[in-house]
Amino acid sequence: MSTALDEVQTPLNDNTAVASEAAPVLLSVDNVSLSFGGVKAISDISFNILKGEVRAIIGPNGAGKTSMLNVINGFYHPQEGRISYKGKTRKRMKPHQAAASGIARTFQNVALFSGMSTLDNIMSGRSLKMHRGLIWQMLHVGPARNEEIAHRQFVEGIIDFLEIAHIRKQPVGKLPYGLQKRVELGRAMAMQPELLLLDEPMAGMNLEEKEDMSRFILDLNSEFGTTIALIEHDMGVVMDLADRVVVLDYGQKIADGTPSEVQANQNVIDAYLGVAS
Amino acid sequence: MNKLVEGHDGKPVIDNHARLARALPSFPHYLLRNAEQFRHQVAMRHKDLGIWREWTWANLLVEIRRFSLGLAQLGLQPGDKVAIIGNNRPRLYWTFAAVQALGGVPVPVYADSVAEEMNYVLDHAGIRFAVCQDQEQIDKLLSLKDSLETLEYLIYDEPRGMRSYDTNSVLAFDFVQRLGEQAVERDAGLIASWSGDIDNIQTDSLCVMLYTSGTTGRPKGVMLSYRNLIVTCLNANRFDHLSQREQTIAYLPLAWVGDHVFSYGQSYVAGYCVCCPESPDTVTSDRREIAPSYFFAPPRVFENLLTSITVNMEDASKVKRGMFNYFLKVANKHGEKILNRDSVNPAAAFMYGLGKLFVYGPLKNRLGMSKVRVAYTAGEAIGPDIFRFYRSLGINLKQLYGQTEASVYITAQPDGEIDANTVGTPSIDVEIDIADNGEVLYRSPGVFLGYYKNEQATNSTKTPEGWVHTGDAGFIDDAGHLRIIDRSKDVGKLNNGSLFPPKYIENKLKFFADIKEVVAFGDGRDYVAVFVNMDLTAVANWAERNNIVYGSYQELAAHPRVYEMVHDHIQKVNEDLASESRVAGAQIKRFLVLHKELDADDGELTRTQKVRRSFIVERYGDLIEALYSDKTEQFVSTDVTFEDGRTGSIEANVILATVDGYRTPQMQEAV
């Protein structure tokens, strides 16, 4: 009996740890500062993201979390400090370069094409991977057609993964908020990113939707090995999902570590609950 | 027992030996036959990643045999019980035949049952293998594994999320199939011996165990033999002339006997194609793509479809809405006759033809019912208007009455003999009898072997002569059709001796859209009286259109125009009741419209929205007594619980009304 089992070792039953301490650094932020005129949004922050981990960035309102994500994907350019991604250090990067190098993101407010269907929205996430030019795609024959079929197949895999087959053909503008968030995640997944930045993926969701979304994020991380950096307010969610947490307050880093370490940190408690003066 | 009924089309009920002698002994036998006879024909479809994938009967045999041989490698023995848990997916359907081919017994389990309920069933059945759809089910079983001593292997269909599980007892479906393949590579003779083993299956042996959902007490494991199911399926196919050319969509729970018979039994016996939807949420659009020719749905599915049609038509353009309404009237007038192939005048036939072109055809296409030859509904009473709506469109919707213990079919409506109030004539080879207390009894080749490990329940349900107690009260009407009126324990008697079936009366009233809930009283009383709960959405809409001003639910409920409306509805129901001799005495004499909505928070309804009669009798005792007096008004004060948990009370003077023209048969005779 056991011999029969040993003979076939299916990759599906293969047990591999995704993230471990020895994992290489995928992205590191060194002494980054960002200010808008006189307002210092981020001052002198350093932290890193390891390959294959779920990294959370938390902090009270206005702590600089979204600015941090915008810096990472090249939307803002920090005045000081540097960012290295996959070992390459860069001073200035444009968002489309970030996208091409494997960084995808979702937004705090849903940013989908509301008149287009779920399928088309997610397909739009594949546009960077399409190699045939405009004319070919308009003709929709031969190689362009084959290419689209391959992309569609990939997108169908995402639709199945996110369990949104029932809204495949519906315009996303008509969908409930929780589902729109899911479609947005799908579009980011379509880019096959190495690093996925999620800006409050669970904002405004009810408990059930949050549980679903948490499961998708965990599965995405473990099945596809995607590294995830997320901003989230719901502490329960963060503690369950994240491998490591960095805490910002007033643009400064006040703690960095595993969820339990961060939770016990006095600075964090003060920042969230306020200090008696 | 007083009346014995002849079988379908008046033939005697003794079974037709010549026909049944041709029946094969088991479903794996049918699999082998279909793989031979219908080898290139599509046996199963499944929409996966947006594309319909198909398997011919020959493909199906290969897939099933691989899995079956894999199970044999894992040590599945004849008599082993195998749980099947999940949605309607091809591989779960294959498991039935794969297990049966080895002499094992499949036990489908409701996928949405909570771990504790599942625990009871799995433990009671003594499950050794469980074939599950996905991680969700595997997790549920793993949480129970310590208390389930017999459970050895968990097999899953969808690999998602299954990376980090114990590989020795949790296996992928593919993996088990590969075990089977490798065994064949080592010993090519296995294929022949696998087919040889199928030949040894005894037709009277246990084929499948189906647990009844258990609304009362613990679930009971209904044991059905191959003979039970195969004879029933052959008869059902003959009754509706179903052949290998049919196509059906499988979307109802696997553990439910109906799905087992429609999507497995009848399909194997006839050789027709079963299509599995992409997910439970996509059934409507998948059905449209498949256009099944044989279709089953409980009444609520038909109700929901009709509601969505009505809502969408409200938003449609004026021209479309006008056409829809006009042709619906035409259909209402002539559709039923045309469907029954009765003669209609040429002008009407022409208008119906036009309607078919512009409205009925496109509408049926939208519903995925363009190709439906036979559609059934069962399980609950269906509203006559809903029933007629579908039939008038030219959809051959029929009712049937069945039970797990009967392998589904007890009665069904033959083509052309359709009435919304009956459930049809006895199915082929079924005998029906009505006991003195009104309970329906039946005897048929489909009657179950017994309840698993529950001799006592078996003996109280099935007589030594093979008659089965349904627990439902009913009667055979003048046309020879069975009418089910209520659960037999709920049926009471009025003081004048007539039958009082509360649910039958309540349902008739509830079919009016303005009425949400009804509670009927009458057992041991002189006449029938009812509480009516209006449907606020419908009545508010009606009030707006009729310029009726009101300040609260209570005020609207007491409005004379509302009383008038309810009164008219009751009169119609009374006319209906008067036309049926068995229940003519149970016409409604007095009624009131309740000042508050019956609510589960106040304990008046169960959480599944069923009326808790005993509680209502206690709570509204004053109102009931007032209905049986001459009073025209009664003061009542009721405690209520608000949604945020606070409590308060509602006080009202409830108006009591008497129905005009109430006249029971006794009164008729006296005149």
Q: Which of B50, B168, B178 is opposite residue A8, by nearest beta carbon?
A: B178
User: Does an H or E element contain B500, and which?
Assistant: strand B499-500
Q: Is the pLDDT of residue A270 over 90?
A: no
> What is the CB neighbour count within 10 angstroms for residue B378?
21
Burial level of A28, CB count in 10 A (0-12/13-18/19+)?
middle
Q: Which of B162, B164, B282 is opposite residue A166, by nearest beta carbon?
A: B282
Q: Which residues of B fall within a CB distance of 8 Å from A219?
A: 160-161
Please state the separation of Cα A64 from the chain's center in Å. Answer: 17
Supply B83's token pair: 């749980």
Whether residue B73 and residue A14 make contact (CB cut-off 8 A), yes or no, is no
Q: Which range among A27-41, B80-94, B515-529, B551-565 has the greatest average pLDDT?
A: B80-94
Q: What is the pLDDT of residues A75-127, one digit of tens each?
A: 888 888 888 988 888 777 788 888 888 899 888 778 899 999 999 999 999 88
Question: How close B47 gets to chain A, by Cα (Å)?
Answer: 10
CB B585 within 8 A of CB B525: no
| Average pLDDT rounded to a whole number, residues B134-159 | 92
User: Does an H or E element contain B237, and which?
Assistant: helix B226-239
Tokens 């997916």 identify what position? B89
CB contact A3 to B (< 8 Å): no
Euclidean distance between CA atoms B207 and B305, whole angstroms: 36
Name the more confident of B283 and A38: B283
CA dihedral B78, B79, B80, B83 (to 10 degrees): 120
Which pLDDT belongs to residue A145? 84
| Among A residues 131-190, those touching chain B with beta carbons less than 8 Å apart | 152-153, 156-157, 159-161, 163, 165-166, 168-169
> What is the CB neighbour count within 10 angstroms for residue B306?
16
Sign of CA dihedral B19, B21, B26, B31: negative
Q: List the B273-276 sheet strands across, edge first.
A: B51-56, B42-48, B273-276, B247-249
Euclidean distance between CA atoms B610 and B518, whole angstroms: 11
CB contact B73 to A (< 8 Å): yes
Which pLDDT belongs to residue A23? 79
Euclidean distance between CA atoms B332 and B365, whole angstroms: 19
Question: In a 3-state reduction of DSSP, which class is residue B421?
Answer: coil
Q: Is the pLDDT of residue B6 over 50?
A: no
Lowest mean per-residue pLDDT among A136-140, B422-426, B581-585: A136-140
Question: In a 3-state reduction of DSSP, which class is residue A23?
Answer: coil
Residue A160's closest CA among A118, A207, A193? A118
User: Does an H or E element contain B560, and which?
Assistant: helix B560-578
CB contact A236 to B (< 8 Å): no
Please state the separation of Cα A155 from the chain's center in Å. Answer: 17
Q: Which of B49, B160, B175 is opposite residue A219, by nearest beta carbon?
A: B160
What does chain A come to in residues? Answer: 277
CATH number of B492-670: 3.30.300.30
Question: How close A14 gets to chain B, by Cα (Å)?
Answer: 6
What does chain B come to in residues? Answer: 671
Tokens 């809903």 identify what position? B386
Pick the CATH number of B296-370+373-487 from 3.40.50.12780, 1.10.40.30, 3.40.50.1820, 3.50.50.60: 3.40.50.12780
The answer to whether the complex's ipTM is over 0.85 is: no
Residue B148's closest CA among B120, B176, B188, B182? B120
Q: Which of A1, A4, A153 is opposite residue B49, by nearest beta carbon?
A: A153
CB contact B160 to A (< 8 Å): yes
CB contact A15 to B (< 8 Å): yes
Q: How confident is the model at residue B608 (pLDDT cuts 50, 70, 90)?
A: low
Question: How close A223 gets to chain B, by Cα (Å)?
Answer: 7
Query: What pTM did the predictor assign?
Result: 0.82
Could you tell me how many CB contacts below 8 A there are between chain A and chain B?
71
Q: Is the pLDDT of residue B661 over 80?
A: no
Question: How close A102 gets to chain B, by Cα (Å)?
Answer: 24
Which pLDDT belongs to residue B671? 53
Q: List the A39-50 sheet strands across, edge first.
A: A39-50, A25-36, A80-85, A88-90
Specify whether domain B24-202+241-293 bears CATH 3.40.50.12780: yes
CB contact B75 to A (< 8 Å): yes
Q: Which residues of A fall within a CB distance of 8 Å from B74?
A: 1, 4
Q: What is the pLDDT of residues B118-130, one digit of tens each?
A: 999 999 999 999 9
Please state the separation of Cα B583 from the chain's center in Å. Answer: 25
Domains B24-202+241-293 and B296-370+373-487 share a fold: yes
Euclidean distance between CA atoms B235 and B402, whole angstroms: 14
B455 phi, psi to nearest 5 deg: -60, -40
Q: Is the pLDDT of residue B16 over 70?
A: no
Query: What domains does chain A contain, in order, with CATH numbers?
Result: 24-102+193-277 (3.40.50.300), 113-191 (no CATH)
Sign of CA dihedral A180, A182, A183, A189: positive
Whether residue B159 and residue A12 make contact (CB cut-off 8 A), yes or no, is yes
User: Does an H or E element contain A121, and which?
Assistant: helix A118-124
Euclidean distance between CA atoms A115 and A170, whole angstroms: 9
Whether residue B172 and residue A13 make contact (CB cut-off 8 A), yes or no, is yes
Which pLDDT belongs to residue B242? 94
User: To the nearest whole percent, how much of chain B has pLDDT over 90?
Assistant: 64
Residue B397's closest CA among B410, B425, B379, B378? B378
Euclidean distance between CA atoms B634 and B595, whole angstroms: 11
Could you state, in order of their start, the residue ranges of all structural domains in chain B?
24-202+241-293, 296-370+373-487, 492-670
Lowest mean per-residue pLDDT among A43-47, B428-432, B658-662: B658-662
Q: Is the pLDDT of residue A18 over 60?
A: no
Which pLDDT belongs to residue A62? 83
Task: Tell me which amino acid residue B345 is.
Answer: N
Task: Tell me which amino acid residue B130 is.
Answer: A
Compare all CA atoms of chain B with the CA of A17 and give the residue at the minimum distance: B164
Query: Interior CA angle at B123 toward B119 and B129, to 5°?
Result: 95
Residues whose CB is less than 8 angstroms from the CB of residue B373 and which lie 6 or more positions away in sequence, other chains included: B240, B246, B293, B294, B396
Range list of β-strands (E), B363-407: 374-377, 397-403
Which pLDDT belongs to residue A17? 40
Q: Which of A2, A161, A165 is opposite residue B279, by nearest beta carbon?
A: A165
Compare all CA atoms of chain A with the CA of B48 and give the residue at the minimum distance: A160
